[in-house]
Amino acid sequence: MGVRDAKADDIDEICALIEEHAAYEGKNDLMLDRAEMAEHLFGPDPKAWVLMAESEGEVAGMAFCSWNFSTWEARPGIWLDDIFVRPAFRRHGLGGELLTELRARTSGRVEWDMQEGNERAAGFYAQLGAEPVPGWIRYRWRPDLAR
């Protein structure tokens, strides 16, 4: 087992993992443009980065991240947009390895969203010492909804 930074030649696996995660969550029609994703991750001005989890030479999962910044803490942190471990590799510690590596990369906050009602994930995050942020509601403003 191990965690490493993704490389440009991982783009097919990265997109496949995202599509598999979407299907696992009931969205079976997600198909990502590999070239566009490669530009966002590995182009001249990357917008995000990925950690890959491997087990016995196979890609087992990933954490898809970007940097954020807390004005009140005056330090950068990590936004974890997506974490996914393929079902065959779950319960082997890979999710914990991915999150531990993220924790080691910043002295700031590591933050993410979780769907309500996902009790298994909530229990896993609690074991790490992570906790929900009380009193905050996430908003999303998409270009197609702008007035």
What are the domain boundaries of the chain? 2-145
pTM of the model: 0.90
**Marked catalytic residue, from 49, 67, 79, 125:** 125
**Domain at 2-145, CATH class:** alpha beta
125 assigned to active site: yes
Which pLDDT score, from 0 to 100, does residue 137 have? 83
| pLDDT score, position 52 | 98
Measured CA to CA, the distance from residue 59 to residue 55 in angstroms comes to: 7
pLDDT in tens, 17-75: 999 999 998 999 999 999 999 999 999 999 999 999 999 999 999 999 999 999 999 99
Of 109, 104, 59, 117, nearest in space to 84 by CA: 59
